[in-house]
Structure 1
Amino acid sequence: MSRILKPTLYAIEGTSAAPNYPSLKGGKCLHCGYVFFPLQTYGCEVCGESGAALQPMALSGCGTLIASAKVHIHAPPAPALNPDAKAHEAPFTIGSIKLDDGPTIRTLLLNQDERILAPGQRMVSKLVSVGSGVRITLDLRFTPAS
């Protein structure tokens, strides 16, 4: 049986707009309509409303690549919170993606040849195995849309 590494941030199930791609767990301010990620109830970044005005909203796993960078040197990994997940090893690629639902996120990209990544490119979410133990552990990555 597999499990999600960060279940408070994303879900296996997609949205009605993008059912084939894992969704992200964001929120929406009922007062001003601002959409954000990740879900929190401290206060809207636009109007300041808090608590019940900030409601959960599943965000589609589709968006547009704003920028990407390949990390060649990375700090030593901290002790794993999840012993079944292996730490990131350089090199790896991170990207800023403007989700179709509004927010811009920074996320890990699947190991790709960075020459094929270009601003404006369509990206989609995908769950990949990051486990090193007996249990399969899945984490969210983004990859170019086919």
Structure 2
Amino acid sequence: MPELLKSDLYASEGTTSAPDYPSLKGGKCAHCGYVFFPLQPYGCEVCGRAGDSLKPLALSGCGTLIASTKVHIHKPRAPAERSDIKPREAPFMIGSIKLDDGPTIRTLLVDADERALKPGQRVVGKLVPVGEGAQVILDLRFTPAS
């Protein structure tokens, strides 16, 4: 069975509204209704409530591209947290995505032609292999919706 690189941030199972795409582990403030990502215990960014007011909420892996850019120069993190993960090499694409469930995230984009990416374009989550060893390790990326 594949391992998720950041299982505290996303799950391979989708949501009711987007069952075919990975979900993100976000939260919702029970007091004011603010939806956020990632799930955190520190307090609502809007009303300040903490503790039991912050409820886990699975966010759909679908959204709208707000902006994107291509990274040409990238200094790898040192030392690598895990030796079995391929280092990210430039060039690569990143994007700001407004999730259908509310929050805006910044994430890596894959399978995307930089010239074809346009603000307002639909994007979806995709789990991609990032490991170098025998164990399959998957990480979440976003790609243009087909």
TM beyond 0.5: yes
Aligned mates of 2:111, 2:122 — CA distance in 1 = 16
> Is 1:61 aligned with 2:38?
no
Structure 1 unaligned segments of length 5 or more: list them: none
Aligned mates of 1:11, 1:125 — CA distance in 2 = 11
Q: Is the 8 A contact 2:64 2:120 kept in 1?
A: yes
Equivalence for 2:120: 120
Aligned mates of 1:111, 1:85 — CA distance in 2 = 20
Matches within 5 A, 1:106-145: 106-145=106-145
Matches within 5 A, 1:23-34: 23-34=23-34
Give the paired residue count: 146
Residue 6 of structure 1: how far off its partner (Å): 0.2
Equivalence for 1:17: 17
- Percent sequence identity is 73
Post-superposition CA distance 1:27-75 (Å, at most 9, x none): 0000000000000010100000001100100000000000000000011
Equivalence for 1:39: 39
Aligned mates of 1:93, 1:141 — CA distance in 2 = 10
**Higher mean C-alpha displacement, 28-37 vs 74-83:** 74-83
**Aligned-partner SS, 1:24:** strand
Residue 80 of structure 1: how far off its partner (Å): 2.1
Provide TM-score, normalisation by structure 2: 0.97
Q: Is the 8 A contact 1:77 1:88 kept in 2?
A: no
Cα RMSD over matched residues? 0.8
Aligned mates of 1:136, 1:76 — CA distance in 2 = 22
Q: Is the 8 A contact 1:93 1:111 kept in 2?
A: no
**Aligned-partner SS, 1:116:** coil
**Aligned-partner SS, 1:52:** helix
Write the letter of the residue equivalent to 2:50: S
Write the letter of the residue equivalent to 2:34: Y
